[in-house]
Amino acid sequence: ADVYRIEWVWLHWSEYLEAYKEFELWLTKQQRSHDVELEAQLGAKEKLWQVDQQRVVVSDIKGQAVLLERLLDEAAALHNRTQDPSVDPQAQERLQEAYNHVRDRAEERLSLLQKICEEHQTYQGCVQRFQSWLLSKTKELTEVMGRNDIAEEKLKALKALDDSVACEEKALLDIEGMVESLRPNTSPAGVEEVVEEAEELRLGWQRLREGLCKADEGLRSSLDTHSQYMTRCQRLGDDIGRLRELFKGLDQELEETQDCRDRIDHTEEQMVGQWTKYTVGLLTISNKKKAQFRFQFKWPLYISYVLCFSVKCRATRLCSESELGLRNILQDPLLVYDQWKDTVSQVLETSAEVTDFSHVAMLVQKIECLLKESVQLQERFSLLEVKGDLLDSVFGPERSDGLQSELSTAMRNRELLHVQLQQRKSRLQVCMCTKFYSFIYFSCAHLLLCLQVILKDVEDYEAQVMALETLVSSSQTNRIQFEKLCDEWKHLHIAVKAKVDESDKTVAEHERFHDSLLNIEKWLMIMKQKLMSFHSPTGEWSIEGRRHEAERALGEFPEKELQLQQVDIQGQGVLKKTSEEGQVHILGDMKRLKDSWLALYEMSLNLHRYKKNEVDFSGHEQGVSNDKPIGGNSSVLAEDGEEAVLFTQASYPQPPMISSGDDSTEAGGCLISGGGVGEIRRPSAKKASATPGSQGHHESRRKEFDSWLFKQNELLSQILSSKGAAHSAKDVRLKQDTLKSLRADLSWGQKQFQLLIQDSQSSEAGTGPKEEAGLEDLRYRWMLYKSKLKDVRDVRNRISSKQKPGLLQRVCRLALPLWLLFLALLLLAFLLPLMDEGNSCSLSNNFARSFNIMLRYEGPPPT
């Protein structure tokens, strides 16, 4: 019996497990099906199908409740017999909870689907009602417009209909809100469909409103009745009366204006105002006349017609005269240009072969006047160029185009003539400078010749003085006078010789300064022509196919800048030895040279920026060559691929290049004070080593580097400017130490400059054109400072090579031992009489006094 019972339990257990597994699979399947998100449907019909399908699923789930109840009963029975934990009450509760969870989720999904379906059905109902309403209102509008009622009744009906249509906009907005609520639970195609339906409803509603507005406007326009027409006629009659008064006032104003116009001339603005005023007045008269005589059957006032015609004729005449005067004023710049061009041609032809100094000065003044007139013409051309609309209205399109083409040609020709005048003025000024320097040179040469004649006369008196010495040996009084006369002669000889040497040196300085000035001016003229060749008449720079030529031209600027400083130093030396009248001319020439240099520098800077921008645009920008060794060719402009280095006093403030008066100082840099190398100061290491931060930190670092570079350049400029001065050993050592310190600071300066570049690149988005231009200018000055330092050789060698003894010094050194030997022999000659008491004292004294007798005496000593 136990065996049968066990077999029965085992069979019962197997059937339970099989049923449990099937139920568990069904639960898992239902859970997975409910885990999947709802599928968005196209429309209401599809959503109803989805609801029916979900109802079937819920019904199926509820049908499984019987199976669940049987499983729970079997599990309870098996647990009573086996006490197995897999069928204990907790397991039965878990199974019941899983079933309840599946059933609840199915019911929730069913309720959600029913809600979605109801929303869509509500939307469709609203759409259908709104469509029906639109059809009814459209039909009602048609009926209202088809009635035979009076216009006022139709307007009232349209007003009521329009109010009702406007009130229905709220329903339309509700439908559009439903569309937005349907969007998450509808498929993309369904969303597109409901959106199109809503848009069609909106368009239909708008068309209905537009139809109502048009109908209202049509009815209101039809209300322009005969009474309104008569009211307008009455108002027009009043206007005609006022117009008659206006005609009389305008007639009087035209007479006064004509009288005033005959007495005075008007400016262009006044002429434009009068022409516009007369034109507008003429149009007003024409319009008023048309309006008046349109109703002349009501107002047969022929006197008004006569008055109107008279005023119109006079206004037409004044308008024509104003237009003629305005044309003359607008064409006046071109007429003035023709006269100016003829005068310029005559001046250029006259100044081609001029030689007289007075004629040169007169031509220079005349050219300056022509240049001022050229600037005024340019201003008038610029003002006329922007008045294209006025030219079109005054001259007409065809004539206006012709005038504008003539204006463009005149502007180009004026620019060319302006450049020719400037070149001719520069050439004449150079000619004046040459003549003036020739006058100074001949004056100095004449003074030198006179001093040489005086020196020759003084030297010729030496023999007479020596001959006179033999005649005064017997008298003590004559001897004293002779010695006084001899001293005066020696002082005069020394003074005249010093004057001759000074005059000779002055003449040589004038020659060197004149040659240097002419050379630098010649270079400026040639370089200006070269740079102008890169500048097109339209104002654009172009170096296509001539890049190397442009780099070579820019590469000449550092060397010429040093030459300019040397010319300035020479000029300061010449100024000290020139009269006040001569100083005025020299200062004027040096100022003109400085202005020419600054103008040429500005052109070269523009050319360099254009070249750099072109390189950046092509993607071949080259970096700064920071690790190049110090030394080598000074033409950094042509060799460094980074950029052309230009430097002038316009780049940063320096001591004045030219000074006048008694307090004239050296130009080109500051004097090195007694501090020597100790004067070189770097910014503090703490500030210099700070990491790049804000824009304020970058600006402070740039200012510190700028100040340090300015001090370094001052010291270097002073070393370069002390070329012709005499140097002691202490000065040589001081300058040598300064150069060593400058070279040692190069690496530190390069690091600071690289930090500035990195800061600028990191804050590139916040920098403007002004900051970029300042950094570019700082880059120019740093590269020029390095190029200057490359050219400086050892100061000791340079000074020692310039202090090699000349021929006179070598002769003096050789003659010194000979003079000592001669003095020893002379002393011995004075001591010889003391060795022999029998010798004649008078003869010995005479022998000792007279140097000439001692040299001419031959034979034994006198006794």
- Total count of domains within the chain: 4
- 237 assigned to some structural domain: no
Task: Give the per-residue pLDDT at 395.
Answer: 76
Rounded distance, CA 247 to CA 307, Å?
Answer: 7
Could you tell me if residue 341 is inside a domain? no
Residues 821 and 774 in one domain: no
Which band of pLDDT confidence, cut at 50, 70 and 90, is reported for residue 670? very low
Residue 682 pLDDT > 60, yes or no? no
Q: 567, 520 in Cβ contact below 8 A?
A: yes
- The reported pLDDT for the residue numbered 628 is 37
* Average pLDDT of the residues in 521-528: 82
**Is pLDDT of 741 > 70?**
yes
586 & 602 share domain: yes
- Of 69-83, 466-480, 647-661, the range with the lowest mean pLDDT is 647-661
Residue 284 lies in a domain: yes
Tell me, yes or no, whether 408 lies in a domain.
no
CATH number at residue 72: 1.20.58.60
| Structure confidence at residue 323 (pLDDT) | 67
More confident residue, 487 or 794: 487
Q: What angle do CA 102, 107, 110 make, to 5 degrees?
A: 125
Residues 796 and 815 in one domain: no
Q: What is the pLDDT of residue 774?
A: 72
DSSP string, 803-853: T---HHHHHHHHHHHHHHHHHHHHHHHHHHHHH-TTS-HHHHHHHHH-HHH
Report which secondary-structure segment, H or E, holds 255: helix 226-263
Within a domain: 376: no
Domain boundary at 298, 333, 368, which? 333
**Together in a domain, 113 and 252:** no
Give residue 796's pLDDT band: very low, low, confident or very high (50, 70, 90).
Answer: very low
**Residue ending a domain, choose from 176, 192, 224:** 224
Residue range 414-428: mean pLDDT, rounded:
79
Residue 16 lies in a domain: yes
Domain membership of residue 431 (yes or no) is no
pLDDT at 647 over 60: no
Q: Are residues 621 and 647 in the same domain?
A: yes
Q: Residue 132: what pLDDT?
A: 92
Q: Write the CA distances from 658 to 572, 594, 622, 718, integer angstroms.
A: 8, 9, 38, 16
Q: Are residues 190 and 328 in the same domain?
A: no
pLDDT for 815: 75
pLDDT of 819 above 60: yes
387 by DSSP, 3-state: which?
Answer: coil
Comparing 716 with 208, which gets the higher pLDDT?
A: 208
- pLDDT at residue 655, as a whole number: 33
What is the pLDDT, as a whole number, of residue 768? 59
pLDDT at 41 over 60: yes
Specify the pLDDT at position 692.
40
Q: Mean pLDDT throughout 83-111?
A: 87
In a domain, 338, yes or no: no
Residues 611 and 740 both lie in one domain: yes
Task: Give the model confidence (pLDDT) of 477-509 as tens digits.
Answer: 666 666 666 666 677 667 777 777 777 777 777
Instruction: Give, as one character, the DSSP assignment of residue 645.
Output: -
Rounded distance between C-alpha atoms, residue 71 and residue 89, angstroms: 12
Averaged pLDDT for residues 28-36? 85
CA geometry: angle at 310 spanning 305 and 313, to 5°?
120
Q: Verify that 151 and 256 share a domain, yes or no.
A: no
Q: Are residues 720 and 817 in the same domain?
A: no
Closest C-alpha among 546, 654, 516, 527 to residue 601: 527
One domain for residues 211 and 278: no
**Residue 775 shares a structural domain with residue 727:** yes
Q: Are residues 780 and 838 in the same domain?
A: no
Range of the domain at 167: 1-224
Residues 6+ apart with CB under 8 A from 254: 311, 314, 315, 318
Task: Check whether 385 has a pLDDT greater than 50.
Answer: yes
Which residues, in sequence order, are CB contacts of 677 under 8 Å at separation 6+?
734, 737, 738, 740, 741
State how far the Cα of 319 lies from the Cα of 332, in Å rounded to an integer. Answer: 20
**CA pair distance 109, 54, nearest whole angstrom:** 8
- What is the overall mean pLDDT for the chain? 71
Name the band, by pLDDT with cuts 50, 70 and 90, for residue 538. low
DSSP state of 41: B
